[in-house]
Amino acid sequence: MEEKIKQLLLSNANAVFGKEIAEEQIQFQKTRKDVAGDLTLVTFPFVKLLKTSPEKAGEKIGAFLKEQLHEIEEYSVIKGFLNIVLNDQFWVSTLQDLHKDDDYGKAKTPSGKTSMVEYSSPNTNKPLHLGHLRNIFLGYSVAQILKANGDAVVKTQIINDRGIHICKSMVAWQQFAPVDDKGNRETPKSSGIKGDHFVGKYYIEFDKQVTRQGFDLASSWKEDDYLACNDEIKEKLEGLFAAYEREEDTKKRTKIYRKIAGMATDQTDMTRAAKEMLIKWEARDPEVYLLWNTMNGWVYEGFDKSYDRMGVDFDKLYYESDTFLIGKDIIDEGLQKEVFFKKGDGSVWADLTDEGLDEKLVLRADGTAVYMTQDIGTAIDRFKDFPSLDRIIYTVGNEQDYHFQVLFLILKKLGYDWAKQCYHLSYGMVDLPDGKMKSREGRVVDADDIMEEVVQMATASTKERGHLDGMAEKDRKDLYEMIGLGGLKYFLLKVDPKKRMKFDPNESIELNGNTGPFIQYAHARIQSLVNKVALDEVGEIKINAPEKEIIKQLSEYPTVVKEAGENYSPALIANYTYELVKSFNGFYQQYSVINETDEALKNARIVLSQNVGKVIASAMKLLGIDVPNRM
């Protein structure tokens, strides 16, 4: 109806306003709850044109619209707002139209845009954790929402399979993996540990060993009266050792221990071994390359199992081990064009001080690449692979805001016009009850563990409620999985992506409140209801005010999908669905569907129930969540 009114005013502008008007002057907003009306037109933009007050402008526009549109029952003007009430027949027709539309809410024609959405993008030195889950579910959902808006979508990730952090796991495995009587070091298969968890174990082992070496080295400096240190390091270490020796609290003492170790870790044997391995890897040393391929292979097998359980996938994979080479070539070209400059130690930098930023390292002194190197190469490779790309959406936490600001600016300085089509979908971190996660210390909520935990919790709570008599055991297990993972996904997606959040697994599987299981249960109950009635063809329909309110909410769904795509925000879909379910639950509790004696009203309520169920299923699918028919 908003579009119909807009076109009517545009085509009759001279008659109504005395001159042509711009489309952006026609502004609608949601009608206030304390005001009678189904939609509200803002009249302030027309005051100068009509040379009158906002109220009189509203009266003139309202009278014209009521005369032209039979769907308008009445209108009222409050200050600068024209509140329009649409008649029951309009809402009946709306319900009938959306009932016929199996793809209701989705764009009817392609947008003509191609969007690439990057998400997950893990390192191959550790398993996925809770932070990855928000990233993955957010990126996958945004991809689904953009598809619903008519975009051609490419789902991708950049696998960070090289670098000093990867070499740390490799060094630790070489030095500390147990050896059997045949001289073979342990593997995921021999240890029974999932591949990504296995490699992650050695990343933690590296940190443990390098921290011990760092502390020992710093202690040796202390014993030699800090002769090996400059005055600044000496002063810091003296203070840290004094604090360490007098601290009695174990947790605080450990924190100081790590700070002391951190002052010396760069000079330990472990760190030197990792740096030497990275140089050998970039030189394609056969032995190092074979080890790298082997350990990454273990990790990929683990990742694939995790992704399969999450219900997410990718259309195209990029690997840092490929794209960093492209980045290095581009940096060589950038040096010639004076986009970059080389310092005395041989390192290469981008000077961004004229843009209000700082100098950014793009290549180390030893010639090895940094993250910026590979990100430059990856972006270029993607636009080469997909020349029709209209945008790349990078789903990455807000701790990397500055990194992407620098990346997009460097790409622009290199002369790539498409740099302005790159967007950083910056989201807030997920906290544990006791604070931030730290992968190298092993203090994370593992993604596999948390998925298993919520499924087990959903299993226990569903069994406790009963209601599954006669359901096959396999179907029950599928249902438990659906509820647990649905609750997890919904919990992580219902919060505005920009906001930091705290994860509560118990709350995520609650059957009441703004949760996934609450919405899933509503869908199951609706299916149980509509399965009890036979309505092959929709007969006569009539509605009252309660039905009209639900139809109004259903009519908002396409707009919500559009806004979610424009804002890259699955939270808009999640919270719309929650409000719809709340409204329908209240309606269902107050008004009978099957036992309604007025046949036309009964028909309306059955069709209404069917379409609430349809929209719930559609919306949850955009969040990557399945809904059950029985629960």
Residue whose C-alpha is closest to residue 127's, from 303, 387, 245: 303
| H-run or E-run covering 342 | strand 340-342
What confidence category does residue 121 fall into, taking pLDDT thresholds of 50, 70 and 90? very high
Please name the amino acid found at residue 220. S
* C-alpha angle 548-553-558 in degrees, rounded to nearest 5: 130
Q: Is the pLDDT of residue 470 over 50?
A: yes
Task: For residue 442, name the pLDDT band (cuts at 50, 70, 90).
Answer: very low
Average pLDDT over the chain, rounded to whole? Answer: 94
Tell me the three state secondary structure of residue 338. coil
Q: Label residue 441 by pLDDT band (50, 70, 90).
A: very low
Helix, coil or strand: residue 502: strand
pLDDT, greater one: 536 or 131:
131
Alpha carbons 328 and 308: distance in angstroms, whole number: 34
pLDDT, residue 534, reads: 67
Tens digit of each residue's pLDDT (9 = 90 or more) over 337-374:
999 999 999 999 999 999 999 999 999 998 888 999 99
Distance (Å, rounded) from C-alpha 515 to C-alpha 487? Answer: 6
Distance CA 273, CA 468 (A): 58
Would the CA dihedral through 164, 166, 170, 173 be positive or negative?
Answer: positive
3-state secondary structure (DSSP) of residue 165:
helix
Q: pLDDT tens-digit profile of 387-401?
A: 999 999 999 999 999
Residue 598 token pair: 């007025």
- Provide the b/e sequence for 546-573 (b: ≥16 CB within 10 Å): ebbbbbbbbbbbbebbbbbbeebbbbbb
pLDDT of residue 440: 44
Domain with CATH 3.30.1360.70 in the chain: 2-86
% the chain with pLDDT above 70: 97
Q: What would the pLDDT profile of 235-289 be if each residue is shown by its tens digit?
A: 999 999 999 999 999 999 999 999 999 999 999 999 999 999 999 998 999 999 9
The secondary structure of 82-117, three-state, reads: EEEEECHHHHHHHHHHHHHCCCCCCCCCCCCCEEEE
2-86, CATH topology level: Gyrase A; domain 2 (3.30.1360)
Is the pLDDT reported for residue 315 higher than 80?
yes
* Ranges of CATH 1.10.730.10 domains, the chain: 447-622
What pLDDT score does 231 carry? 95
- pLDDT mean over 185-210: 97
Cα of 244 vs its chain's centroid, Å: 41
- For domain 315-444, which CATH number applies: 3.40.50.620, 3.40.50.2300, 3.40.50.300, 2.40.110.10? 3.40.50.620
More confident residue, 448 or 468: 448
CB 26 within 8 A of CB 40: no
The answer to whether residues 306 and 446 touch, using CB atoms and an 8 Å cutoff, is: no
pLDDT at residue 433, rounded to an integer: 63
pLDDT tens readout for residues 542-594: 999 999 999 999 999 999 999 999 999 999 999 999 999 999 999 999 999 98
pLDDT in the model for residue 574: 98
In this structure, how many other beta carbons lie within 10 angstroms of the beta carbon of residue 402?
12
- Look up the CATH architecture of domain 447-622: Orthogonal Bundle (1.10)
Spatial distance between the Cα atoms of 583 and 581, rounded to a whole number of angstroms:
5
Rounded distance, CA 629 to CA 631, Å? 7
pLDDT at position 456 is: 95
Model pTM score:
0.91
pLDDT value, residue 539: 78
The boundaries of every CATH 3.40.50.620 domain in the chain are 315-444
